[in-house]
Each structure stands twice: as C-alpha cells, then as structure tokens.
Amino acid sequence: MLFQEIIRHKRDGAELAAEEIAAMVAGIASGEASEGQVAAFAMAVFFQGMTHAEAAALTLAMRDSGEVFDWDLPGPVVDKHSTGGVGDNVSLMLAPIVAACGGYVPMISGRGLGHTGGTLDKMDAIPGYTSQPDNALLRRVVSEVGCAIIGQTSALAPADKRFYATRDVTATVESVPLITASILSKKLAAGLGGLVMDVKSGNGAFMSSYEGALELAQSITGVAREAGLPCHALITDMNQPLASAAGNALEVANAVDFLTGAHRDARLEAVTLALAGEMLALTGLAENRGAGEAKARAALDSGKAAEVFGRMVSALGGPADFVDRPGKHLAAAKLVREVAAPESGHVAAIDTRAIGLAVVELGGGRRRADDAINPAVGLTGLVDLGEQVERGSPLCRIHADSEAQAVDAERQVLAAYRIGQAPDVPTPVLKIID
C-alpha cells in the first residue's frame, strides 16, 4: 500500500481498514515511511479522529512492532497507568500492594514530562537500582518478587517510540486516539491480563477539564476492550499535589513512609487504595472493589507490601536495607528552607502546574530531554487545598542546592498558593469507569 494513499484516506475523513493501519505502522517501525509521511498521518488523525475499531487496530499494530511478553505465572498479570500529575508517587506503593495480594505487576513506567514527575526518575533516585533491566532480569524479578517498576525497553512497541517522537514536535500529542494507542500498545506488549487507568483531571493534569479526562478515559477503556484487554479507569482530581512531597528522592521517601505506616497523606491513600481495589477486582483477586480495597489495606497495614517493595529494590540492584534506612541512601539537598504563608486564612486555590514547574526549576525535572536530574531537590510538607494557615506558618519546605534556587522557588510557591475563603475541595476519586 502507498503511505500517501493511506494518509489521503484519513485526511478526507475515511475510516481506515485494519490492513491500511498495519501497513502504516510497519512503515513507521521500519523507517520506510518518511518523517513527513509520519507527521502527515499524525496530523490527519489529529483533525479527523479515529473510531474505537481504528484505534484498536493502531494499538495492536504498534504492539506487534516489537516483542510481546507471554507470562506463565500462577496469578493474574495486571498494571496501572497514570496520565501524570504532581506528587503522584502512587506506583511505588501500588505495585507492591497488589503483588502482596497475589497479583503480578510488570509496571512499565516513563520519565517526567513537562511539569509532571516521572516514576522512572523516582526509581533512579535509589542508588544501584536497575530501572531498565534486560528481559531475563525483568522476568525473574516479576516471577520471584511479584512486581518490577521499570522503564520501556527498545524492544517494546518500537513503532510507538518513533511515532511519539514525531508527534512531540508536530503539535499532535493531544490527539485522544493517538494517546490511547500509545499507552495501550506498550501495556499490551507487556503481556497484561488487566489494566486500570488513573486519568487525572485538574490544573495539574494534561487533561485539565473533567470533560477531556472523561473522553480520554472512555477512549482507553473502549479501545482496550476492542483489543481484548480488560480495562477500567478512575478519574482522579489533580487540582493540588497528590502527595505532600514533590521531587524524586523526596517522593521515594514519602512512599517508604506510606508503606511502613510512618506517615500517609490522606488523599494519596484514598487514590492508592481505590486503584488497588479496582486492580484486584478486575483480575478476580477480590470479589468486588470494596473487598479489593479491604484486601489492599490489610496487605499495607500488615507490612507485607513494604516487604515486597524492599525485595523488589534489592532484586533490581538497590540496597537491601533500603526500606529500613532510606535516609542513609537517598540524596539530600544542601539547604532546606520553609516558605511562610503571607497571610492567615484557608488555602483557597493551588496552581498545581506551577508547583511542578518549581520542582523543574530547582533541577528536579527536565527542560530538555537530555538534561540531568538532581534527585535531591524538591518540596515537602505541601499544605493541602482547604487547609487553614496562619500568617508565617509554613506552606511547604524547599529542598535546594543553592541560595538562588531557593529564592526563586519560594517566589514560585507563593505565586502558586492563594489564601482566602475555604473552597469546596473535590473528592480524590471523581468517577470510576468499568
């Protein structure tokens, strides 16, 4: 098939046949399709959209462009994917919780994008941790421990890797069917038997409107069903940071505190347990989501989930005593400074995206893809939306490596927090799509 004819069909609003989509994806993966043709195809889909059947065909073709895992395990293989947010370290607790309940979680994670933190960057904050193992090590850790939080390898959905890079520079990232196929192709390549989506909505999310988040959640669950993957979605609120910490090593420390019971942020706990309950119910490890949440909480409170996390870290090259002594191993910033509330009142609004960008400016994120990350910097003790504060009381603590960075971050945090009347605070979980 001629690539230009496939592009013309989609440009003119036609529904593409599965064979046309497969031919286009094969050209993307092999390099036979030029950059111009890949960009034109992306733009045609951006403007004309895709049916669920088309998006499913695109998903399956990108899945089959590389290696597809086939697991032989005594329990269900399941994963979760988040569309990204600030202070979203859920994966670090969720994978070991579900593994402690009998699931197997090969969690393929990504790096930070824009103002959002990346799970892979958080795991890289742990000294010695192999975040991109070869397939043999991945299989062994998942089989023996129950979970592995890792990054995408070049063998998984390589067509998606090239397609996404082109979309990133052609203003076509926001296409719902293309987002859907990008996410699901990698998850299907990982050999999953079930997937739960965490679709963020709010001023710290890529889908800032509830309507946009709902459209994406419905697209992903619908296309996943077309592709043969059981998938549920939770729409969760991102109008404030999810954890009280934002920054790679700081979010890892927050996760260890959560797993051990030393400290658990209430909203983070609600979202984590809701996702765990959904994953356990979806895979038959619990009778329903309520029973799944109860089972997840028992695994958390008993210490079993913390034990699984420690074993995973050790099996992937990290310190054997990491859960017991995270402070010994995690990098620490050179200075810590409190940001004082400028007046008394309630936290009326938080510009969550600005909080994420403050972490990036501190060096905890990337301005360019090849930037190095400082794992030590970030923010802790972030005050929640609706919380009452007194003039001079701390809104958060800045962890920085220079006085200039700290001063700039303080300015950004003060601009992000608005003090006033108590607002209506959204519930952490806005909707469940099953």
Question: Could you tell me which residues come within 8 angstroms of residue 329 by beta carbon, excluding any fewer than 6 positions away?
Answer: 126, 127, 318, 319, 322
Nearest alpha carbon to residue 384 among 337, 344, 429, 352: 352
Residue with tokens 């209506």: 424
Query: Which pair of structure tokens corresponds to residue 205?
Result: 């999310």
The one catalytic residue in 187, 232, 397, 399 is: 187
Query: Is 182 a residue of the active site?
Result: yes
Taking a C-beta distance cutoff of 8 angstroms, is the pair 88, 82 a contact?
yes
Query: Is 82 a residue of the active site?
Result: yes
Distance between CA atoms of 411 and 407, rounded to whole angstroms? 6
The one catalytic residue in 81, 200, 232, 397 is: 81
The one catalytic residue in 182, 244, 260, 283 is: 182
Nearest alpha carbon to residue 63 among 146, 170, 151, 180: 180
The one catalytic residue in 80, 122, 162, 397 is: 80
Distance between CA atoms of 277 and 429, rounded to whole angstroms? 13
The one catalytic residue in 65, 82, 131, 236 is: 82
Query: Is 187 a residue of the active site?
Result: yes
Looking at the DSSP assignment, which residues form a beta bridge with residue 79? 195
391's torsion region: left (phi>0), alpha (psi -120 to 50) or beta? beta
Distances (CA, A) of 280 to 4, 78, 196, 240: 45, 9, 10, 27
Query: Is 10 a residue of the active site?
Result: no
The one catalytic residue in 10, 52, 59, 79 is: 79
According to DSSP, the β-strands at 231-237 and 194-201 are parallel
Burial class (CB in 10 A: 0-12, 13-18, 19+), 368: exposed
Q: What is the DSSP letter of 184?
A: H
Query: Is 109 a residue of the active site?
Result: no
380's torsion region: left (phi>0), alpha (psi -120 to 50) or beta? beta
Distance between CA atoms of 133 and 240, rounded to whole angstroms? 34
The one catalytic residue in 122, 167, 232, 353 is: 167
Query: Is 116 a residue of the active site?
Result: no
The one catalytic residue in 83, 91, 119, 131 is: 119
From first CA to last CA, the distance across the chain in angstroms is: 38
Distance between CA atoms of 160 and 405, rounded to whole angstroms? 37
Query: Is 186 a residue of the active site?
Result: yes
Distance between CA atoms of 148 and 317, rounded to whole angstroms? 12
Query: Which pair of structure tokens corresponds to residue 80?
Result: 């979760």
Query: Is 201 a residue of the active site?
Result: no
Query: Is 119 a residue of the active site?
Result: yes
Residue with tokens 């046309």: 20
Distance between CA atoms of 141 and 144, rounded to whole angstroms? 5
User: Which amino acids are annotated catalytic?
Assistant: 79-82, 119, 167, 182, 186-187
